[in-house]
Amino acid sequence: MSDSKKILIIGASRGIGLGLTREFASRGWHVVASERTPSDGLRDAAQSHENAVEIVTVDVTKPDTYQGLASKLGEGSLNAIIVNAGITGAKHQSAEQATDEEIAHVMQTNAYGPARVGKALLPLLKDGGTLAFMSSLMGSIADSSGGYEFYRVSKVGLNMLAKGISEQQAKERNVEVLSLHPGWVQTDMGGPNASITVEESCTGLADVVEKAGGGGYRFVDYTGEAIAF
CATH assignment of the domain containing 105: 3.40.50.720
pLDDT above 90 (res 184): no
Q: 1: pLDDT confidence band, cut at 50, 70 and 90?
A: very low
Is there a domain that residue 82 lies in?
yes
What order of strands is seen across the sheet that includes strand 78-83? 53-57, 30-35, 6-10, 78-83, 125-134, 176-181, 217-221
Mention every residue, 6+ apart, whose C-beta is less than 8 A from residue 225: none
Over residues 73-93, the mean pLDDT reads 94
Mention every residue, 6+ apart, whose C-beta is less than 8 A from residue 88: 148, 150, 151, 189
Q: Which domain holds residue 39?
A: 6-221
Q: How many domains does the chain have?
A: 1
pLDDT at residue 70, rounded to an integer: 86
Q: 59: pLDDT confidence band, cut at 50, 70 and 90?
A: very high
Is there a domain that residue 62 lies in?
yes
Q: Do 209 and 80 touch, CB atoms closer than 8 A?
A: yes
Over residues 174-183, the mean pLDDT reads 97
Is there a domain that residue 228 lies in?
no
Is there a domain that residue 143 lies in?
yes
pLDDT at residue 85, rounded to an integer: 83
Helices marked H in the chain — which ranges? 15-26, 40-48, 69-73, 100-107, 113-121, 149-165, 198-211
pLDDT above 80 (res 77): yes
Is there a domain that residue 229 lies in?
no
pLDDT at residue 214, rounded to an integer: 92
- Whole-number mean pLDDT of the chain? 94
Is there a domain that residue 227 lies in?
no
DSSP for 77-113, written as a single string: -EEEEEE-------TT--TTT--HHHHHHHHIIIIIH
pLDDT above 80 (res 191): no
Backbone angles phi, psi at 52, to 5 degrees: -95, -20
Is there a domain that residue 226 lies in?
no
pLDDT above 60 (res 170): yes
Over residues 151-177, the mean pLDDT reads 97
- Burial of 207 from C-beta contacts in 10 A (0-12 / 13-18 / 19+): middle
